[in-house]
Amino acid sequence: MTFKKTTGALLLAGATFLSGTAAAEDTIKVGVVAAFSGPFADYGKMIEGGIKAYVLQHGNKVGGKRIEIIVKDTTGPAPEVAKRLAQELVTRDHVDFLAGFGLTPEALAVAPVAEQSKTPMIIMNAATSIITTKSNYIARVSMTLPQVSGPMASWAVKNGLRKVVTLVADYGPGIDAETAFKTNFIGGGGQILESIRVPLRNPEFAPFIQRIKDAKPEAVFIFVPAGEQGVAFMKGYRERGLAEAGIKVIATGDLTDDHVLPVMGDATLGVITTFHYSAAHKSAENQTFLKQFAAANPGAGRPNFMAVAGYDGMSAIYEVVRKLNGKMDGDRAMAILRGMKINSPRGPITIDAQTRDVVQTVYVRRVEKIGGELYNVEFDQYKEMKDTGK
């Protein structure tokens, strides 16, 4: 297998020598579009890490073909770059699949490319509900924000919380999270004291954290995109004494993303989140995944939910190629993806036959120490959760 990596700028430079390469008869090409540099660089790295883990475990041949992965860096969030890269992958590289997509705006920008070219597009993270409605050639193996946020609200009311402030990133997934949380929380008898939205790029949390403190809620519900922002929020939470003021943190698991959790510090102990994957999930499939990820990605740290979606997305792609015996066809590929079941490291998942969106167990977890390291420890679950945002 070959891993080619090109940034948007480099791709133009490489265009002349790449244009002569016809789609080799014996390869299946997967074009991976995600951010590999900039503030969301970890998204591409985690997704690619999961893809590498799958290929290491299963080999690079399936259905009589060799799998070739072509990786493109959007440097994002950069929807227009993502769209151009996807167009080039389809028209010049003749990819059989589009995959990756860490960020919602990039997935939405590429949807028309998948639709026009009838190229199956496997979403490995981007989690705004509507994405899968934008083309019949999209299937999602990751999660949606309504799917994981609704259960957080249900759990909160069941456990006696009545007054909450919400804080979300001000774009698709954040608004989906806020809406789904409010619906279940207010529906269950709770009260939302205030709803705060923060910018997607470089949010300055300090003033918002003060507003939360002043509103005196029992808890704050958080969605911020995985990574640095969760670290920054928890730092402010600790420094402004919200724990001492009795304000709990409840969140989607993006906040305590497994890749950054080890460096988040003890302020996260006891934080409750709802999510589809924890590195501490107890199953044989997860043990295998963790081992393969470490072997395929030396020094990359702990894999998170995006790595799992990269791994599962490859599993879906292999299954399609196997069933089509290497003879790719977009419509037949989608028919195979509809209703597909995958034995994921997170537990069994299904791609819904109607919506092409993922159906899965959503776990309730608490941050605890295992052997001196912070983990999201699962202690309750909501089975067979569908996206509720559409």
Q: Indicate the residue among 226 and 336 with the shorter CB distance to ligand PHB.
A: 226
> What tokens does 48 get?
């690619």
Whichever of 126 and 349 has its CB closer to ligand PHB, that residue is 126
Of residues 173 and 330, the one with the C-beta less far from ligand PHB: 173
Give least dist CB 10 to ligand PHB, A: 24
Closest distance to ligand PHB from the beta carbon of 127 (Å) = 4
* 283 contacts 347 by C-beta, under 8 angstroms: yes
What is the amino acid identity at position 243? A
Residue closer to ligand PHB (CB basis): 103 or 362:
103
d(CA 301, CA 291): 12
State the nearest-atom distance from the C-beta of 61 to ligand PHB, in Å: 32
Give 386's DSSP letter: P
Shortest distance, position 105 Cβ to ligand PHB, whole Å: 7
Burial of 79 (0-12, 13-18, 19+ CB in 10 A): middle
Tokens describing residue 180 = 């789904």
- Residue 348 CB burial class (10 angstroms; 0-12, 13-18, ≥19): middle
Tell me how many helices (H) and strands (E) the chain has. Answer: 11, 16
Q: Are 330 and 119 in contact (CB under 8 A)?
A: yes
User: Which spans of this chain sit near ligand PHB (rule: CB under 6 A)?
Assistant: 103-104, 125-128, 173, 225-226, 254
Please, what is the minimum distance in Å from the beta carbon of residue 216 to ligand PHB? 28
CB of 92 to ligand PHB, least distance (A): 27
Question: With respect to ligand PHB, which residue has the nearer C-beta, 128 or 179?
Answer: 128
Q: Which is nearer to ligand PHB, 6 or 125 (CB)?
A: 125
74 vs 125 by CB, closer to ligand PHB: 125
Closer residue to ligand PHB, CB minimum distance, 101 or 318: 101
**CA distances, 252 to each of 31, 152, 315 (Å):** 29, 7, 25
Closest distance between ligand PHB and the C-beta of residue 353, in Å? 23
Please check whether residue 375 is in contact with residue 261, taking contact to mean a CB–CB distance below 8 angstroms: yes
Q: In the chain, where do the E strands start and end? A: 3-7, 27-34, 61-62, 65-73, 97-100, 121-123, 138-140, 163-169, 191-198, 219-223, 248-252, 272-275, 341-344, 347-351, 358-370, 373-385
Q: What is the smallest separation between the CB atom of 261 and ligand PHB, expressed in angstroms?
A: 13
**3-state DSSP assignment of residue 224:** coil
